[in-house]
Amino acid sequence: MLRFRKYILYALGEILLVMIGILLALYVNNQNQIRQDRNTEVQYLKSLKDEFTRNLKEVDRVIAICESIKITGTNLANSAGPNTHHLDAPTIEQNFVITFAEPPKFIESPGILNDLISSGNLNKIQNSEIRYLLQQWFAIIKEIEDEEDELWRHRFDVIDFVNKNLSVKSVLATVNLLSNVDGLNNNLNFKSDSRELLSSRYFENLLLFYLITLDSLEQNFYPQLRKNINSIIDEIDKEIK
């Protein structure tokens, strides 16, 4: 009986040792997985920081375009009226080209974010504030795209009006862009005066719609995007410091 008890105790001891060994192995594996997941998360965060640092530069680029366009566009708007014969036509045309040649268009930097979304790995980011800011990012981008599309529609309205009322070749000659097109000569078969544009109330209305939308992008939409980007970068820095 005593021997049997010793055997039972020995067997229980062996079982306990095996269980402890299994638990230790599970613990070690769990810790290794935690470290691996954390390393993966840190790599994701570093890639996201690089991506949004580029996006920040892109925001600054489109804001600079807005500021440049507002200067020339405002000059045109302030010169509009029934009496424009005293204005300098080449200056008007130069301002026109700068105002409407390249409206701002935010181009999102390619990077890890879309991969995280499409692969379902966004949950690898443990920081809930970062995930929230990233979700906000998509909503803000959609709003900006809609506002930029509105700006470009106003631009197309202006271009359509100009095509019907002004010699484009005359404008290109004034700003020395005819030479950019092979084979075009400098003969102006259709004369036109850009000052007539500024005497048109319809043109003034089109220009004002364009400038109001541009100002909305510069003052509201792009700053909101910049704020979101800076918040994302700040939160990432807290996580990987």
Position 213 scores a pLDDT of 97
The b/e string for 203-229 (b: 16+ C-beta within 10 A; e otherwise) is bbebbebbbebbeebbeebbeebeebb
- In this prediction the pTM is 0.81
Question: Distance between CA 68 and CA 98 in Å, rounded?
Answer: 8
Position 221 scores a pLDDT of 97
Position 118 scores a pLDDT of 84
Residue 193 to residues 92, 165, 169: CA-CA distances in angstroms?
10, 9, 12
Position 9 scores a pLDDT of 67
Question: Distance between CA 65 and CA 54 in Å, rounded?
Answer: 17
Position 83 scores a pLDDT of 84
Sequential pLDDT tens for the chain (241 residues)? 656 666 676 677 777 777 877 777 777 766 666 677 778 888 999 999 999 999 999 999 999 999 999 999 999 999 988 888 888 888 888 898 899 988 999 999 988 888 888 888 888 888 999 999 998 999 999 999 999 999 999 999 999 998 888 777 776 776 666 666 666 666 767 777 778 888 899 999 999 999 999 999 999 999 999 999 999 999 999 988 7
Position 77 scores a pLDDT of 94
Question: Distance between CA 17 and CA 191 in Å, rounded?
Answer: 100
Position 179 scores a pLDDT of 66
Place of tokens 């920040």: 56
Position 125 scores a pLDDT of 87
Q: Are 122 and 131 in contact (CB under 8 A)?
A: yes
Question: Distance between CA 142 and CA 201 in Å, rounded?
Answer: 33
